[in-house]
Structure 1
């Protein structure tokens, strides 16, 4: 099958999120199984067209994509044109949902069978942030899809509420095998890893909680990542008098990220919303318990005994939980339980599920109006 994946974010772009990791891990396994996969992404400083693990990456847009706005606008303008130009060499189009409005309603303009992958569904939150009704674009786009893949049951429920006629496959994220490589160590520090974005990732709530509990904790708060609110975060750390108790590590990936996860005492995810929460699964695989707010999606992947959930957005409760669990005996048992749970999130098995979802989608969508493509596809398969 020839797949054109509208992936938006390139996994090698500094600051790229977990969604682009999922895109690549699934796609490289599909290529190994005989698929041909081309991924269209935004441009960014240093971008180049390349083949990585058999997957062709084509950054599109204008110029170098030096900031978020130019990357977004360049992608939005160019992706329909690129999809149209490639339609004769494409069997299935895959649309990744992305910020700030989730979907461009790709089935309306791809002229090919199209399925969406939903790793981001937060247009309502962005609408409140930017004072623009982005949620209506999201709602319209979801209603134009017939089949979607959601990375969690919580997201699937929301999609089906927006479009009761949808078929939604739930296929989660996997864990890089490298997460199991470092030996877990009961460290001294509390760790946050993620995009430095206040509204989404709850960094403001984390700093407020840290002010309340850091005097009861021996280690420091380590914050790893890059993002649009880095300057704001640095200023907030200074203003709160936390410069000696908070360290910014920058963007971590690969072995450095997994070593940071395995050597932390606790990982904290203060997100206001998530579609999956890959960092939580990676932390459990690395042997470090996780503390998070009790919100949809995160509650699916933090089991009892491997981490703890706090009433959503209760800063005092978060501070108390961090200080209590930091001193708790038995963290080694929580580490073992978390690793056993994370072992179920295997990229190979998930790629098999996604390949089957693609085949089913292509068959169904061809039957519903694009039958003229069936012969050529069957000849190749």
Structure 2
């Protein structure tokens, strides 16, 4: 089957999020089987058309893609043209939803059977941020899909609330086997890792909570990642006099990332919204317990015997939980249960489920629209 994957983020792009990890891990496994996959991604400084792990990556856009805005505008402008060029050599189009408006309503213009892969559905939040009706674009696009794959039940619920007739396969994300390589240990520091988005990722809430509990914790707060708000984050840390107790590690990936997770005593996820929570499941795989806000998606992957959920966006509750769990006895046993739970998120099995969803979608998308239904896979 010939797949044309519309995936905004190239996995090699600095600062690329969890969505690009899924694209990479699923696609390379499908390409090792009976799928031929071309992925149209955005341009970025240093972009390169290439074949990687059997997948043909074609960055599209205008110029070098130096900023998020130019990457977005170039991709949106070029995408319909590039799809049109390839439609006669494509069996199935897969559109990854992406910020800030989720979907370009691909089923309306691809002229091929089209499935949405939904890891992101936060256009309403972006609408408030940018004062633009981005959620109208999201709603319009979702209403024109007949089949989608969602990474969590929380995302699936939102899809069916917008389009009751949509078919949703729920297929979660997996964990890199390298996460199990480091030996679990009771570390000293608390780690937060992910894209440096001050509001969406809740870094403002984290720093406020850290200010309240800093005197009760022996270790430092480590923040790893890159993103659009890195300069702002550094300024706030300095303004609040936290430079001695908050360390920025920069972008971590692969073995270095998993070693940092394993070395931490706790991993904290202060996000206001998540699509799946890749960091949470990776931290659990390294044997490090997780503290997170009780929000959709995260509550699905932070089990009560391997981590703790606190009242959403409550700074005092987050500070109290970090203080309490830092000195928790039996963290080694909690970490062992965390690893056991994370073992269920296996990329090989998930890729097989996604292949089945592609085949079913290809077989049925030309049929009359079916009644909405959902199939939970993980």
TM-based fold match above 0.5: yes
Establish whether residue 263 from structure 1 lines up as the match of residue 263 from structure 2: yes
| 1:231 equivalent in structure 2 | 231
| 1:336 equivalent in structure 2 | 336
Establish whether residue 212 from structure 1 lines up as the match of residue 222 from structure 2: no
Structure 2 counterpart SS, 1:219: coil
Q: Deviations over 1:258-283 (max 9, x none)?
A: 00011100000000011100000000
| 2:345 equivalent in structure 1 | 345
Structure 1 counterpart SS, 2:173: coil
Report the alpha carbon displacement of residue 341 of structure 1 after superposing the two structures with TM: 0.2
| 1:85 equivalent in structure 2 | 85
Q: Deviations over 1:9-67 (max 9, x none)?
A: 00111111011000110000001111000101010000000111001100000110000
| 1:121 equivalent in structure 2 | 121
Which protein has the bigger helix share? Answer: 1
Distance 1:65 1:334 in 2: 44
| 1:179 equivalent in structure 2 | 179
Establish whether residue 316 from structure 1 lines up as the match of residue 316 from structure 2: yes
Structure 2 counterpart SS, 1:40: strand
| 1:149 equivalent in structure 2 | 149
| 2:63 equivalent in structure 1 | 63
What TM-score, normalized to structure 1? 0.96
| 1:298 equivalent in structure 2 | 298
Unaligned runs of 5+ in 1: 370-381
Distance 2:247 2:199 in 1: 20
Distance 2:61 2:4 in 1: 17
Distance 2:333 2:132 in 1: 47
| 1:282 equivalent in structure 2 | 282
The aligned length equals 369
- Across the aligned residues of Structure 1 and Structure 2, the Cα RMSD in angstroms comes to 0.7
| 1:354 equivalent in structure 2 | 354
| 1:160 equivalent in structure 2 | 160
Q: Deviations over 1:129-152 (max 9, x none)?
A: 111111110000000100000000
| 1:325 equivalent in structure 2 | 325
Report the alpha carbon displacement of residue 367 of structure 1 after superposing the two structures with TM: 2.9
Report the alpha carbon displacement of residue 305 of structure 1 after superposing the two structures with TM: 1.1
Distance 1:40 1:187 in 2: 41
Report the alpha carbon displacement of residue 368 of structure 1 after superposing the two structures with TM: 4.0
Distance 2:66 2:29 in 1: 31
| 1:54 equivalent in structure 2 | 54
Report the alpha carbon displacement of residue 207 of structure 1 after superposing the two structures with TM: 0.3
| 2:373 equivalent in structure 1 | none
Structure 1 counterpart SS, 2:164: coil
Report the alpha carbon displacement of residue 346 of structure 1 after superposing the two structures with TM: 0.2
Distance 1:68 1:161 in 2: 30
What TM-score, normalized to structure 2? 0.97
Distance 1:46 1:278 in 2: 26
Q: Deviations over 1:193-222 (max 9, x none)?
A: 100001210000000000000111111000
Distance 1:214 1:74 in 2: 44
| 2:375 equivalent in structure 1 | none
Report the alpha carbon displacement of residue 158 of structure 1 after superposing the two structures with TM: 0.6
| 2:130 equivalent in structure 1 | 130
Establish whether residue 99 from structure 1 lines up as the match of residue 99 from structure 2: yes
| 1:377 equivalent in structure 2 | none
Unaligned runs of 5+ in 2: 370-378
Q: Deviations over 1:284-319 (max 9, x none)?
A: 000000000000000000001100000000000000
| 2:252 equivalent in structure 1 | 252
| 2:109 equivalent in structure 1 | 109
Structure 1 counterpart SS, 2:93: strand
Report the alpha carbon displacement of residue 162 of structure 1 after superposing the two structures with TM: 0.2
Distance 1:199 1:142 in 2: 25
